[in-house]
Each structure stands twice: as C-alpha cells, then as structure tokens.
Structure 1
Amino acid sequence: MSRPEFVSRQRPDGDVTTSSADVGYQQELRRGVGGFASFAAGFSFVSILTTVFQLFGLGYGFGGAAFFWTWPLVFAGQLLVALCFAELAARWPISGAIYQWSSRLAGTTAGWFTGWIMIIGQILTVAAAAIAAQAVLPGIWSGFQLVGGPGADPSPGSPTGARNAVLLGCLLLVVTTVVNILGIRQTAAATSFGVTVEIIGVVVLVLVLFFLPERGPQAVLHDTGWSGHGGYAGAFLASSLMAAYVMVGFDSAGELAEETHSPRRTTPRTILRALITSGVGGALLILAGLLAAPSLTDGKLAAGGLSWVLTDRLGGVLGRLLLCCVAVAVFACTLAVQSSGARMMYSMAREGALPFHRHLGKVSARTGTPVVASVVVGAGAAIALLVNVRQSAIFTALSSLCIAMLYLAYLGVTLPLLVTRIRHRRTGGLPGGVDETGRPLFSLGRRGIAVNTLAVLYQTGMTVNLAWPRPEIYDLTGGTWWLRWSAPLFIGLSLAAGAGYFLVRRLHRRIELRHVPHTHVEPPAEARTVTEPA
C-alpha cells in the first residue's frame, strides 16, 4: 500500500485555498456552508433531542437507572473515532468522506464496499430519524395520531403507533427531500435553525428538570427499574445500544466538505465539536430525566420515555412547548442525514461506481445540489418504512440495523488507517501540510497509533453488540427466527448484492474498470505549491 498523498493550493498572495481540483475533481458543488452550518450538519445528525427522546425508554427498559453509565463509555469510544476522522477530514475534504478516505487508505475495492455499506446504512438512518416524529408529534397534539384516530395507542410498539409512525415518517421525508433539492444554502439555513432551536431546547429542558428533582444523583448507581433476571452484564450491554444509536453521524461535516468554506481548517474542528457538544448535552439530558421522573419502578418511564416525564412534570402547555423544540430537532436531524447520504451517493456516482451513475452524479446547474441522489435517498428511506408498516418492532429494529451498518462502514476507514499508521510509523503515518490559513493540519502525532488501535477495538465490539440477535430488539413476536437474525442476514445480503454488482460490472467493463478513480489522479503541477511531506 503506497503512502497517501496530500496537496493543497497556494494563491499568488500567499493564502492557501482549497478546491475540489486539489484532490482531482472539478468544483461542481457550491460552497455555501460556514463554520456554524458545518457544525450543525454533524450535531443535527447526532441530534440528542431526537434520538434521546426516541430511545430513552429503550435504554432504561434494558438496564434501569444505571444505564446512564453506558453514555460516557460510548462517548469515549466514539471520541477516539472522531479524532481519527478529524485527521482525515483535514487531508481529504471531499464529499462522500467515508468512501473517499477508505479508498485512499485501503484501495478502490475496499473503498467501494465501505461506501456501499455506508449508503445503505445512511438510507436506513434517514428512515429511523423520520419515524422519530411518532415519539413527539402525538404528544403535542393527539390529532397527529392519524391511524386509528386520537384515541388510538400512539406507542411506537403498538400496531396503530407503528403504522402511524410510517405515515408521519413518509410525510416528513417529502418535506426534507424538497428542502434538500432547493440548494445547499437553504439546507444549511434550515439545519442551522434546527440546531439553534435544539440547543436552546436542551439547555432549557435540562435546567427545568434539574429544578424538579424527585431523587438525588445517586440513583444512577443502582439498577432501579431493571426487571430482568440473572446477571446484569448482558442487560448493561443491551442498554448501551441507546447511546450507540445516538452518537453517530458526527462525520457529516466531512460529507459537506466540498461545500464548506476553508474545509481543511473548519471540518476537523466541527467534527469534534459536534460530538463533544452532543456528548455533554446528552449526558445532562439523561441525568435530568432520571432525577425528575415521577417514578422509576411503575414501568411508565420505559414505556413513555422523556415525553412522559415532560408532560407529567411540566404540565400540558410547557411540556408541549418543549416537545415542539424536539419536533424541530427531528426535522433537522432527518434533513441532515438525508443531505449526508445524498453526498455519499453523489461522490461514488461521479466516479461511475454506482448503477445509474450518470444521473446520480449530476449536479443541478440551478441549485448546485445533487438532485437525483437526494430524491433516491428519500425514496429509499420511504421504502424502508413501508415494507415494515406492520412490524411493531420497527423503531428498535431499524435503529439497530442502520447503526450497525454505520459502525461497519466506520471500521472500513479506521482499520486501514491503523494499518497505514503502522506501516509508516517512522514518518507519522499520515502526510503533513497546512490548512487554508497556513497553520499545520490537525494531527494526533505520536498518539495516533494508540488512539487508532483503541478506536478499532471499540468499533469491533460495538458492531457485534449492535448486530447481536436479541429478540427484544429484532423480533417482538419472539418466534420468528429470521427477524431475530435480521441484522447479520441483512448485512450479509447487502454485501452479497454489492459483490454481485461489483463483479458483473468488472467483467462487463474489464478494460474501463482498470482506471484509477478521480480520487487518485494527481493534480496539475501548478497546484502542488505547498511543501509536500518527504
């Protein structure tokens, strides 16, 4: 494996700029994303209001109050991953970040499969984000319970709740698809507004709940609320799925790098800020909810989650007002995930790596966005919802499956990165360089191998944990074997389908596929003005 290259461009006035041409592309996407919008892309993908509200009951139901401690553990593991991604984002600020980084580190074949898994995982994540509307909207107004009427059970695990979740999710996808195709400025503005509302909502919610405690912080030292039997270790691992579901997608800032101003400087910072802000805010939100819950033992906290805590402790008016903030966060989250997935699809398509690539890799001259890719991601998410319309485990099954796919794709980057570091440990593993301001690129330095190794170990363990065939996650019927094993089966079938397409395409276009993708084309000599690593 050759050592990856890094190049950047220097203007005559001495300032360093970044353009797609520096990494082998013609600039087609429009740069309309600033520092806050870049942060918002990662923060809204994580979206602690959306996912904590959606999945709090799941974590509490599995592990009781002590499930709180899974949050800092998962945060520590994901921070190791984010540090690795920050280094790569500084060196290759390109749309389709996970695919592009993997291709440069492990070769085009490994990169293609990593990108394939990432696209499928992102489409499923869009679907999982969209159905979070069911955890919020009926609590604001019973009229949002369209299936069965206002008197029907809105719980996502009930038949009427599950079907209504699909309906609300599909309606939300229509809105986010329209916003996505309007242009990156509109998308960035909507995401930034959603994140602003979300941050304000988190701060207000945490402060209000902390002022209404029913118990002290020592509650998280016990497994109160856990109704399981036998050892607690298995329950603790299962409850960690909630935190694992939430703290992904911080790499979305990398997906928008080609549309971000000064991406070599901005993107690494926003990746880390998005995760750290989400980690701190989420921990406070979970703790506040546990302390303010009216009861930890009557089963209502596991069934109703934080929505129940809000409406019970704050009353109808204030509780619904805060739920409106959560609804805005759900919209911003769905929008951000769809934007990220569309850029991943576009990035692979412009290299001819996907079916119908001429359409998927096309950027609208009017809006400057990959319109077809945005529509396909939205339609794919809607299909994922519709085929599960009668599955009462749709919330937990979709969430586990999509995050398992994302963790697997992340491994497709961190594992070859570790190999690259070890092979080139004498020179630091990754090339150096400067950002748009002339400062050295973000780097872990000598700590890189240790951080990277721990990140790979964490990701491997969590991927197994996510895909483990737990009937309470994948099969609420308790008797359908293929539902229980749906995660490994779906991952295996996805890889098999990808391998089939890849092999057929290679045989059909034997000579043409011997080309080196654009990601590996050397830039023109005049672009190579910054001192390169030895």
Structure 2
Amino acid sequence: MAQADVASRGAAAAAADQSDAEDLARLGYRQELKRDLGSLSAFAAGFSYVSILTTVFQLFVIGYTFGGTRFFWTWPVVFLGQLAVALNLAEVGSNYPVAGSVYQWGRRVWSGYPGWLAGWLKLVGDVVSVAAAAIALQAILPGLWGGFQLLGGDPSLTSRDGAANAVLLGAGLVVLTTAINMAGVKVMACVNDLGVLAELGGVVLLIGALLLHAVRGPEVVLAPVYGPPSSLGTGVAGLLAAALMPAYVLYGFDSAGSLAEETRSPRRIIPRAILKAIVVSGVGGALLIVAALMAAPSLTDGRLSSEGLAYVVVSALGPTLGKVFLADVALAVCVCTLAIQTGASRLAFSMARDGALPGAAALSRVSPRTRTPVGPAIAVGALACGMLLVNYGEAQLFVLITESAVLLVNLSYLLVTSGMLVRRLRGWPGHASARGEVFSLGRAGLALNAAAVLWGIALIANIAWPRHDGGSAWMQYFPVLSVIGTVALGLALHAATQRPRGEQEGDEVPAQGASSASITL
C-alpha cells in the first residue's frame, strides 16, 4: 500500500512537472533548469535578499542619525509603497513565470530598449548588491572574535586595516556562495532554507529579548529624541533622509521570480513568495526597530548614531548573549549574499539565453550534471569581487556605489510597473486573468498600478537627491551619474547584441488547457 502511495505521488509530481514544462514552452522556452523547488525555497529567495537582520543592522545608523526616534515612521511609509510595487510584480510574475524576473517582465510589457533596460539595470544593481552584502561581514565577525581581523588591528570599515580586511572576508564569502551555486539549485536551496529559518528564529528571539530588556515604552517612537544633531536638522529634510534606511532595506523581493523555472507550480507559488517576503520583512523590521529603541541604554549619547543596532544588542543583552545573536546576523549575511548572487545569475542566464548580453553562449550554457547555469554564477561572483576592491581604496566611494545599486534596482521596478500601467490602460491582462492559478489584482489593479508608479517616482527622487554635505560635487551626484553611465552602457550593449527572440509587446501565454479559476486580491 505504501509503495502504491509513493508511486501515485511520483506520478502526480511527474505530471505536474510536465505541465509546468509545457507552460514554459508556451512562453517560448524549453525546460533546461531543474524544477526542484517548493514554496519555502521560493519565499526564502525573496526574504534572504531583503534580509532584515543583515540590512537593519547595517543601516540603522542612517535612520537614527537623520530622523532620531521618529525615523521609525519612515519604515511603514516605505513598506506600504513597496508593497504596492510588490503586488504588481506578483501579478506580472504570475502571468510570465520565466527565469530572470524583472528582465522577462520588462520585455513583455515594453518592446525594444525599455524592456531590455529593466533587466540590465537590475543585473548591475544585483552585482553591486552582492558585494555590498558580503562586505557586511566586517561589521560583525571581528566583534565576535578578534581572529577574524586577519589584516591589521583596526576593524573599523573606514580605516585602512578594516577596509582591507573587509575585502578579504567579503571575497571569501563570494567564493563560497559561488561554489554553492555551482553545486546545483537543490544544494543552494537547502543552504538558503536553513539560513532563512535561522534568521526568522533569530529575529523573533531577538525582538523578544530586547523587549524583555526594555528601559522605555513604545511611545518612544512618538517623542522626537535625537542623538548628535545632523547637518539636515530635525525637520522634513531629516525625515526624508532617514527614509533612505528602509528604502535601502526593502527591495529585492522579486528574487523569488528569478527562480520561476526551477519552482513547481510557479504561477501559484511565485506571487505568494514575493508577497510573503515583503510582508514578513516589513512587519519583522518594524518590530525590530521599535524593540531596539525601547532597549537602547541611551538615545542621546551618540552611540546609536555611530554603532547602531549592534551597540543595543551587546549593551542590553550582555556580551555573551549579544554575540550569539551577532553570530546569527553573520549567518544572515551569508545567506543574503547567496540569495542575491543566485537571483543575479538567473537574470544573467535569462538575458544571455535571448542573446541579449555579450558572451551569451557561455552565460546561457546549463551544466548537464546539475542542470544549473554555472557560467553566470562565476561571472557574477568575479564581478562582485572586483567591486569589493573599491572599498580598499575608498570606503566612501563604496557607500556611494551601494546607493547607486539601490537606485538602479528601484528604477528597474519602475520600468516594469510603468509598462504595466500603459498596457493595463490598453486592456492588459485581458484574457490572461482567466488563466488557471494566475494571481490577479482584479478591479484594484489600475489603482494599485498607478500608486506603484507614483511611489516609484517619489522613492527614486528621494534616493537620488544630493545630501553629502561638505563633499565634492561629483560625490553628491555620484548615484545619478552612475545611473546615467549604466543606461548609456546599456544602450551600447543593446545595440551590439541581437534582438531577444520572442520579444513582442503583448506576448501572453495562450489560455488553452487552463481552467477559468484565478487568484484575485
């Protein structure tokens, strides 16, 4: 009887895989990658990219420096705006469940260069984000054990010793994540799933521990308490600058869509994974910020503005327990780097498969043993290691490059949502909304799409606004100049590569064989 059940389940899984392969064929591609992932792994891909333990620890100082305790309120504002974006990406991702996420979505709502540009901007932003995530190890590991400071004695990221050691630790991590990606999607997913479970457990325990050691109530977010005064003051300008913190955290949730060709029943699972990633990150991050403000020994001694969340954890919980949580943060950094690199490699593979990148033949090759695109993983890892070297010479320049990455990724989202809005006004998704298991925003689609576009414009304007007081002009405008340079380079690459096959505005999966049921908001 048990053998019959196993055989029955095996037959059902094979039938489902065949159905997914046929669905992919209707979108113009044959099944090459190994379709081996379920809902947990899809969620983990999006959640790990955001990685609130990694990014909130890294960026808490930005929010508090400019906004004081009131910077908490920038978090729900940014969360709601990004949720509108995520809802639209979930819908288009369900309609077009193909590896490469933003690239595939962009080229199906825009024809020509704009659609290709969405993928190019996301790819460049992802490569830089791999380096930015990996370099965060320097802010954690030397504090756990002095032996991690392999070069010199000063672990500060702004010192020469710290910058050099950060490059060494970060490059070592990127080499490790590259090896994991080369081993196959199952190995990658197993590591990522375990890391996400550890991070989620760590977030819950850390919030609980900080609340148990609270020295003030939650009303702290209502009182305008500041540390040392910032150059932007305590008004609206300060809060807009503080909003950069959640803006730098809450992106990358689309990464679940990059694994669409390796996920079973992607039309159903991918949109849920995207939305779960942004919601869990938004709620968890908000609670973590409040708990940290409640447990901070002092709000005015300047340490929150210089040392951030690590100072709160070690001071409130003691060095032993505090280091346990810092170790969990280090693990979160590792899986965050892995998730970003995985998403970037699938994006590069998807573009190369269409002949839309230089070196397309090598980048689109799938390993016959692991059924994984090995070349893109190596290329992304190598480029990220190259980016790390920038930090050795000038840490401030690396910060500016990281800002540019956030700008690039959100611009790629805006290209997709604006293309969706144009298409929606022409009747999209039309009959596509009647396909089986397709996520649909229903009647709320137009309003949510317009909100996502307006939010994207506002967010990008805030990120790009020059604020580097006392810095040179090129530093103040570096993110904008880097975007202009990336777009110009993309224009040259697009002109030099062949037009991606199947790239016609209005590409939609035929409705044959699909039921009339759909998932609506």
The normalised TM-score by structure 2 is 0.91
Whether the 8 Å CA contact 2:401–2:479 is kept in 1: the answer is no
Letter matched to residue 128 of structure 1: A
Q: CA deviation at 1:160?
A: 3.0
Whether the 8 Å CA contact 1:86–1:271 is kept in 2: the answer is yes
Q: Measure the CA separation in 2 of the matches of 1:15 and 1:503.
A: 37
> 1:387 is paired with a residue of what secondary structure?
helix
Q: 1:129-150 CA deviation, whole Å, 9 max, x = no partner?
A: 111111211221122122322x
Q: What percentage of residue pairs aligned between the two structures are identical?
A: 46
Whether the 8 Å CA contact 1:24–1:521 is kept in 2: the answer is no
Letter matched to residue 103 of structure 1: R
Q: CA deviation at 1:165?
A: 1.9
- Pick one of 50, 54, 58 that aligns with 2:62: 58
Choose 305-314 or 203-212, whichever is displaced more: 305-314
Corresponding residue for residue 3 of structure 2: none
Corresponding residue for residue 8 of structure 2: none
Letter matched to residue 380 of structure 1: L
> 1:26 is paired with a residue of what secondary structure?
coil
Whether the 8 Å CA contact 2:358–2:497 is kept in 1: the answer is no
Q: CA deviation at 1:327?
A: 0.7
Matches within 5 A, 1:387-406: 387-394=390-397, 396-406=399-409
Corresponding residue for residue 477 of structure 2: 485
Q: Does the alignment pair 1:166 with 2:167?
A: yes
Corresponding residue for residue 421 of structure 2: 418
Letter matched to residue 199 of structure 1: L
Letter matched to residue 462 of structure 1: L
Corresponding residue for residue 17 of structure 1: 19
Q: Measure the CA separation in 1 of the matches of 2:375 and 2:17.
A: 36
Corresponding residue for residue 51 of structure 2: 47
Matches within 5 A, 1:85-164: 85-149=89-153, 152=154, 154-164=155-165
The normalised TM-score by structure 1 is 0.89
> 1:364 is paired with a residue of what secondary structure?
coil
Q: Measure the CA separation in 2 of the matches of 1:177 and 1:200.
A: 26
Q: Measure the CA separation in 2 of the matches of 1:124 and 1:372.
A: 18
Q: CA deviation at 1:482?
A: 1.7
Whether the 8 Å CA contact 1:124–1:398 is kept in 2: the answer is yes
Q: Measure the CA separation in 2 of the matches of 1:13 and 1:134.
A: 48
Q: CA deviation at 1:158?
A: 3.5
Whether the 8 Å CA contact 2:357–2:497 is kept in 1: the answer is no
Letter matched to residue 94 of structure 1: V
> 1:469 is paired with a residue of what secondary structure?
coil
Corresponding residue for residue 464 of structure 2: 467
Matches within 5 A, 1:499-518: 499-505=491-497, 513=499, 516-517=502-503
Q: CA deviation at 1:115?
A: 1.0
Choose 103-112 or 115-124, whichever is displaced more: 103-112
Q: 1:447-503 CA deviation, whole Å, 9 max, x = no partner?
A: 11111111111111111111222216xxxxx34322221111111111111112222
Q: CA deviation at 1:309?
A: 1.1
Q: CA deviation at 1:55?
A: 0.8
Q: Measure the CA separation in 1 of the matches of 2:16 and 2:337.
A: 40
Matches within 5 A, 1:73-472: 73-149=77-153, 152=154, 154-226=155-227, 227-228=229-230, 230=233, 232-394=235-397, 396-424=399-427, 431-435=432-436, 440-471=437-468
Letter matched to residue 493 of structure 1: G
Q: Measure the CA separation in 1 of the matches of 2:129 and 2:14.
A: 44
Q: Measure the CA separation in 2 of the matches of 1:430 and 1:223.
A: 52
Q: 1:143-188 CA deviation, whole Å, 9 max, x = no partner?
A: 2122322xx1x23233433332222111111111110111000000
Q: Measure the CA separation in 2 of the matches of 1:449 and 1:158.
A: 50
Q: 1:62-87 CA deviation, whole Å, 9 max, x = no partner?
A: 21111011110010001001110111
Q: Measure the CA separation in 2 of the matches of 1:30 and 1:250.
A: 22
Corresponding residue for residue 68 of structure 1: 72
Q: CA deviation at 1:238?
A: 0.8
Q: CA deviation at 1:14?
A: 11
Q: Measure the CA separation in 2 of the matches of 1:263 and 1:138.
A: 41
Whether the 8 Å CA contact 1:30–1:368 is kept in 2: the answer is yes
* Closer, same or farther: CA 28–445 of 1 in aligned 2, 3 Å: same
> 1:30 is paired with a residue of what secondary structure?
coil
Which consecutive unaligned segments of at least 5 residues does structure 1 have? Answer: 1-9, 473-477, 507-512
Whether the 8 Å CA contact 2:356–2:500 is kept in 1: the answer is no
Q: Measure the CA separation in 2 of the matches of 1:181 and 1:519.
A: 34
Q: CA deviation at 1:109?
A: 2.3
Whether the 8 Å CA contact 2:354–2:501 is kept in 1: the answer is no
Count residues with an aligned counterpart.
502
Whether the 8 Å CA contact 1:46–1:246 is kept in 2: the answer is yes
Q: CA deviation at 1:246?
A: 0.8
Whether the 8 Å CA contact 2:407–2:460 is kept in 1: the answer is yes
Q: CA deviation at 1:388?
A: 3.1
> 1:388 is paired with a residue of what secondary structure?
helix
Corresponding residue for residue 510 of structure 1: none
Letter matched to residue 214 of structure 1: V
Q: Measure the CA separation in 2 of the matches of 1:55 and 1:395.
A: 14
Corresponding residue for residue 9 of structure 2: none
Q: Measure the CA separation in 2 of the matches of 1:158 and 1:429.
A: 57
Choose 461-470 or 228-237, whichever is displaced more: 228-237
Whether the 8 Å CA contact 2:69–2:293 is kept in 1: the answer is yes
Q: 1:325-361 CA deviation, whole Å, 9 max, x = no partner?
A: 1111100000000000000000000011100000001
Choose 305-314 or 276-285, whichever is displaced more: 305-314
* Closer, same or farther: CA 106–135 of 1 in aligned 2, 3 Å: same
Q: Does the alignment pair 1:530 with 2:514?
A: yes
> 1:31 is paired with a residue of what secondary structure?
coil
Q: 1:371-425 CA deviation, whole Å, 9 max, x = no partner?
A: 1100111111111111232213256323311111100000110001011111217
Q: Measure the CA separation in 2 of the matches of 1:41 and 1:409.
A: 19
Whether the 8 Å CA contact 2:28–2:502 is kept in 1: the answer is no
Q: CA deviation at 1:30?
A: 0.3
Choose 313-322 or 205-214, whichever is displaced more: 313-322
Whether the 8 Å CA contact 2:151–2:165 is kept in 1: the answer is yes
Q: Measure the CA separation in 1 of the matches of 2:220 and 2:358.
A: 53
Q: Measure the CA separation in 1 of the matches of 2:432 and 2:500.
A: 26
